[in-house]
Amino acid sequence: MSTPETNPLLEEQIGQWRTYLLRRRTIHSVDVAELEDHLREQIAVLSEAGLSSDEAFLVAVKRMGALDALSREFAREHSDRLWKQLVVLPADPEERGGRVRSDAFVAFVLAVAAAILIKLPELFGKQFGEEEGFYARNLSLFVLPLLTGYFAWKRRLGTNTLRWLAVAFVAAGVFANIFPFGPRSYTEVLLAIHLPIALWVAVGISYAGGRWNEVAGRMDFIRFSGELFIYYVLIALGGGVFTGFLIMMFQTIGINAEWFIQSWLIPCGAAGAVLVAAWLVEVKQSVIENMAPVLTRLFTPFFAVLLVTFLGTLLLTGRAVDIEREVLIAFDLLLVVVLGLLLYSVSARDAQLPPGGFDAMQVVLVVSALLADAVALWAISARITEFGFTPNRVAALGVNIILLVNLAWSALLYVRFLRGRGSFMELERWQTNYVPVYAVWAGIVVILFPIVFGFM
């Protein structure tokens, strides 16, 4: 068994406590370090008395509340979550981390499988968007068997239950396709509506994991269904924003991406998002992370891929970026979204943790955004050279220069952190110190632009 000093879960909990105090405290961080020494002493004493490291941490934080008001506040806000964590997750931190990673991997693989399944009928001439009746009847069969399989794996269902669930889905597939429906058939519409409702019960049986006959088990599934819907809507909203930026960026170089969006992105994304949303519900119930940081981690790779693909296409085709006013606004909004992803991930990250894979992904995102901003600046400068200064062009030029400086220095600090030559606190400090720059530029636009460019 791990000692308190080397227990990764304990270090994570102490890191959360430390970050909480550093962000709420107005005095020097040295005082927090002194309090941390007291906390570790208490944990050591309680561990020697027979408590597990998790229990020792919770009790020690409560005791620290007598010395420090913020520790008392932390204990009050986090005690319920910590006790749930002790109950829901394995005591061994290695087992806990392994379970989280395996759940994420299985959910991702099944999400990819759902995306592939929904395109599989095209091999047999069933084009998505053209065979509306076929896809309406079979849509739930592309996703729900995989969702059921995910929970069957997590709950370790018995062979007999798995057999009956398989029979249910095979029967659903037969009845969805055996009838010769005519054009605009009312019964076909009714089948398409009611089949997923019937199959949702099969998902519930696998989710309950042997507790379906209990009221509590069915109630848990009802809660899961509501939370799944909410998370799916959140993912869909983020996907809508991502899709809008994808269309806009490729339009600037004269490439129409709507065929890709309609034929691939929407159907595959909608199918895979069901599995991702289900995994997020499970993550939330395990009290691993809040929803917003998880969504940040979810969409950061997508925006990184979007920017890298755009820059690669721009390089390969050699097309010029056409910066009209509306496109320019959308382009700047994309950079603001990227900056927002960076800011939120920075605010949600424990500054004491070592760099990891997600930090490398953040660097890819920031560097790609930096290059995209440079492309936009070049296009704006070309427009100004050719057509002269206007309020919109000058405002856009100023915003992009400000974003360029922010992203460039952020990339440098992040790379230094990854290479072990700088601390994460330097990146936090830079981002927070840079915020007033945007306010100053906004003030310049509000006060000086009407005077310089007139009132038209």
Give the residue from 356, 347, 339 showing the smallest Cα distance to 409. 339
In this model, does residue 88 exceed pLDDT 50? no
- Give mean pLDDT, residues 275-281: 88
Average pLDDT over all residues of the chain? 77
Paired tokens of 184: 């605009």
For residue 390, what pLDDT band results from cuts at 50, 70 and 90?
confident
Distance between CA atoms of residues 220 and 198, nearest Å: 18
In this model, does residue 97 exceed pLDDT 80? no
Distance between CA atoms of residues 364 and 135, nearest Å: 37
Q: Residue 274: what pLDDT?
A: 92
DSSP for 260-305 reads HIIIIIHHHHHHHHHHHHHHHHHHHHTTSS-HHHHHHHHHHHHHHH
Distance between CA atoms of residues 151 and 97, nearest Å: 19
Q: Residue 99: what pLDDT?
A: 60
**pTM tops 0.95, yes or no:** no
DSSP for 313-365 reads HHHHH-PPP---HHHHHHHHHHHHHHHHHHHHHHHHS-TTSPP-HHHHHHHHH
123 vs 418, higher pLDDT: 418
Give the percent of the chain with pLDDT over 90: 9
- Give mean pLDDT, residues 47-54: 71
Estimate to the nearest angstrom the gap between the alpha carbon of 356 and the chain centroid.
16
Q: Residue 90: what pLDDT?
A: 45
User: Residue 9 in contact with residue 54, Cβ under 8 Å?
Assistant: yes
In this model, does residue 86 exceed pLDDT 60? no
- Give mean pLDDT, residues 28-39: 69
User: Residue 225 in contact with residue 170, Cβ under 8 Å?
Assistant: no
Comparing 50-54, 127-131, 298-302, the range with the smallest average pLDDT is 127-131
Q: Residue 293: what pLDDT?
A: 62
Q: What are the residue boundaries of the structural domains of the chain, listed by start? A: 8-88, 95-287, 289-456
Q: Residue 111: what pLDDT?
A: 92
409 vs 388, higher pLDDT: 409
Distance between CA atoms of residues 194 and 432, nearest Å: 52
Give the residue from 140, 54, 35, 137 showing the smallest Cα distance to 93. 54
In this model, does residue 439 exceed pLDDT 60? yes
Amino acid type, 201: V
Q: Which of 47-51, 368-372, 382-386 holds the top average pLDDT?
A: 368-372
pLDDT tens digits, 309-356? 888 887 887 766 665 656 666 677 778 778 877 877 776 676 777 888
Q: 3-class SS at 290?
A: coil
Give percent helix, percent strand, percent coil of the chain, each to the nearest 5. Answer: 80, 0, 20
User: Residue 338 in contact with residue 278, Cβ under 8 Å?
Assistant: no
Give the residue from 26, 103, 70 showing the smallest Cα distance to 275. 103
In this model, does residue 87 exceed pLDDT 50? no
Q: 3-class SS at 455?
A: coil
Q: To 10 degrees, what angle do helices 357-387 and 325-348 make?
A: 160
Give the residue from 335, 411, 442 showing the smallest Cα distance to 380. 335
Give the residue from 411, 449, 448, 451 showing the smallest Cα distance to 431. 411
In this model, does residue 196 exceed pLDDT 80? yes
**H-helix or E-strand spanning residue 368:** helix 357-387
Distance between CA atoms of residues 332 and 249, nearest Å: 11
User: Residue 376 in contact with residue 323, Cβ under 8 Å?
Assistant: yes
Comparing 11-25, 92-106, 264-278, 386-400, the range with the smallest average pLDDT is 92-106
Paired tokens of 361: 């992904």
User: Residue 369 in contact with residue 335, Cβ under 8 Å?
Assistant: yes
For residue 84, what pLDDT band results from cuts at 50, 70 and 90?
very low
The DSSP secondary-structure symbol of 252 reads T
Residue bearing tokens 């009050």: 76
